[in-house]
Amino acid sequence: MSVLELPSVREEGWRWSDPEAIAAAAAMSWSDAPVDPADYFLDLPGARIVVRDGEVDQAASDLHRVTLGHVEAAEHALGRRTAGPGWVLELAEDAAAHPVQIVHVSTGGSNHFAGAIRLADDAAAQVVETYVGAGWANRGLSVTLGKAARLMRAVRLIQAGGFTSLREDATLGQGASLVTSFLGAGAAGTRIDATIVAGEGAFAEYGGALLSAGEQRQECAVAVRHAEPNGQSHQLWRAVAADRSTASLAARVEVARHAQKADGEQSLRGLLLKRTATVNLKPELEIFADDVKCAHGATVGELDARALFYMQSRGIPRARAQALLTRAFVADALDRIGSVVVREAFVADADAWLAAAL
């Protein structure tokens, strides 16, 4: 894997990226994974799938309603490498499946794998993904939601090293709802790419928290396109950068010509914990319809000195006060995870990261 085969930072959409980190992750030597995927399954019924270096470990997995098959990939610099064998969750009308849990274990080198979620009208599903190990894990996902279908997804990126890149293409039917929450709390580089096309009256929520430390670079590049009227979208992202790390959030709302009454909301906030850290934000709007409500807010800074002072004056030690405020900052992004079990697991991971970083 050479940097030359990867997108260049000279391309506008990749200017904050770190292709060298991907190349380095792909060159990581193979090692036996010291991680046991079983440790990462949460106490939920339903499918438990272990994907080891881009292949489903059938012996360790309970596929439940998930099938394996060929999955196409979207035309995307990284995503297109994932085309081939993959996992598929297909639900018929009105069906509701137990949650699907997938643990991706990488043990070095590069691995590519794709998934597809197809929900027919009024179907509902929940998917929880966890990335562990080291190396370059490259994933593609295509989501198709029928009329009023509902999908809740939670993804935690806690690889100990290397790079995780995700490419997601979602198409939301009329009145469909997609809620996706990410937590980046590992030590690997991250790139989250997504394009969500929202249909008539569809609801899309896409966001998360990227916690970066060391030399890590984490970024997201997400676009929500309102293709039909009355859609609603929220993009809520939080970035925390410590040490010499960089966290970049690029989120875009697009409103097509006739997609009137669309309501697109973006909230991007960055918190810098060290002088040497960097936060980049790009809250982008691209609007072609005149009767829409689109607003975005973006802020970058350090913890509020007055809040810190107040807490100290009430007897809370400075370090503890910092931890509490940082935790509150991150919590905004994780609150949207619907399942209590999943949310608690994600918050625990974020807390562990904060304890180490502060």
Partner 1 sequence: MATKNAEAHAAVSKKYEWGFATDIEQDFAPKGLSEDTVRYISAKKGEPEWMLDWRLKAFRLWQTMEAPDWSKLNVPPIDYQDAYYYAEPKAKATIKSLDDLDPEIRRTYEKLGIPIEEQKLLANVEGAEPPRRVAVDAVFDSVSVATTFRKELEAAGVIFRSISEAIREYPDLVRKWLGKVVPQRDNYFATLNSAVFSDGTFVYVPEGVRCPMELSTYFRINAENTGQFERTLIVADKGAYVSYLEGCTAPMRDENQLHAAVVELVALDDAEIKYSTVQNWYPGDENGVGGIYNFVTKRALCQGRNSKVSWTQVETGSAITWKYPSCVLAGDGSVGEFYSVAVTNNRQQADTGTKMIHLGKNTRSTIVSKGISAGRSDNTYRGLVRVGPTAENVRNFTQCDSLLLSDQCGAHTVPYIEVRNPSAQIEHEATTSKISEDQLFYAMSRGLDQEAAVALIVNGFAREVLKQLPMEFAVEAQKLLGISLEGSVG
Binding site for partner 1 (CB under 8 A): 12, 257-258, 260, 270, 272-302
Q: Which is nearer to partner 1, 175 or 283 (CB)?
A: 283
205: tokens are 């929520």
Phi, psi of 21 (to 5 degrees): -65, -35
Least distance (Å) between residue 264 CB and partner 1:
9
Least distance (Å) between residue 247 CB and partner 1:
10
Q: Which is nearer to partner 1, 114 or 279 (CB)?
A: 279
Which run of H or of E encompasses 283? strand 278-287
Q: Which is nearer to partner 1, 254 or 349 (CB)?
A: 254
Annotate 288-299 with DSSP letters as a single string: --SS-EEEEEEE
Least distance (Å) between residue 333 CB and partner 1:
18
Which pairs from 283-288 meet CB under 8 Å and 24+ separation? 283/249, 283/251, 284/250, 284/251, 284/252, 284/253, 285/252, 285/253, 286/252, 286/253, 286/254, 286/255, 287/253, 287/254, 287/255, 288/255, 288/256, 288/257, 288/259
- Residue 189's SS3 state is strand
Q: Which is nearer to partner 1, 143 or 221 (CB)?
A: 221
Q: Which amino acid is at 287?
A: I
Pairing type for strands 55-56 and 47-52 reads antiparallel
Q: Which is nearer to partner 1, 138 or 278 (CB)?
A: 278
Q: In angstroms, what is the C-alpha Rg of the chain?
A: 20
Q: Which is nearer to partner 1, 31 or 276 (CB)?
A: 276
Least distance (Å) between residue 322 CB and partner 1:
12
By C-alpha distance, which of 273, 129, 259 is closest to 212? 273
Least distance (Å) between residue 354 CB and partner 1:
16
Query: Rounded distance, CA 43 to CA 151, Å?
Result: 19
Least distance (Å) between residue 165 CB and partner 1:
22
Q: Which is nearer to partner 1, 257 or 320 (CB)?
A: 257
103: tokens are 């643990």
Least distance (Å) between residue 78 CB and partner 1:
21
